[in-house]
Amino acid sequence: MAKNDLQIERLGQVLDKSLKRMEISTRLDEYAVWPIWNDIVGNTIARNAQPEKIRNGTLFVKVTSPVWMQQLQYMKEMIAEKLNQRLKTEVVKNIFFVVGRIHRETVEVESKPPTVAPAVQDPEHNEEFLESVQDPEIRQAFKRLLKGYSRRKRKN
């Protein structure tokens, strides 16, 4: 039995060395973003933004509208930080948002109708939206954005 354990350990070492030499381990680290994305950003954002690809530390995220692109632009450092914390390494150095169509089958969140970006809704919907954001830091960032938007809207 001990002999088999040594062979398994050696095989693991060989695979680890091979992956490092082929630079596949870096790619595996990068693609670890997909399984945790929905959990990190929460249901509302996940329905409106999904990772598309990652290249050289830049995560390309497809969003459903320009409004979502703008709002998430203000939060990209926080999202990258949370992803990296969960991955325990700095995988995401930058996030680049593009408007496009999100395939609903890739979004594994509770089934609710798609959320319209909160800034175009009334205050009651804003509170409902804020409650749906699970992460307290992201919720607070959206709250600040919504307050700023409502102040600008009143001025105009």
User: Can you give the pLDDT at residue 78?
Assistant: 95
- Asked if 141 contacts 78 with a C-beta cutoff of 8 angstroms, the reply is yes
Average pLDDT over residues 58-72: 95
Would the CA dihedral through 35, 39, 40, 41 be positive or negative? positive
Residue 94 forms part of a structural domain? yes
Determine the structural domain holding residue 139 and report its residue range: 21-155
How many Cβ atoms sit within 10 Å of the Cβ of residue 144? 10
Residue 133 forms part of a structural domain? yes
The pair phi, psi for residue 110, each rounded to 5°, is -55, 145
Looking at the 3D structure of the chain, how many domains does it have?
A: 1
Residue 10 forms part of a structural domain? no
CATH code, domain with 95 = 3.30.300.180
For 104-130, how does the pLDDT look when each residue is reduced to its tens digit (9 = 90+)? Answer: 765 654 444 444 444 445 566 677 777
For 30-47, how does the pLDDT look when each residue is reduced to its tens digit (9 = 90+)? Answer: 778 999 999 999 999 999
Mean pLDDT of the chain: 78
Residue 97 forms part of a structural domain? yes
User: Can you give the pLDDT at residue 46?
Assistant: 94
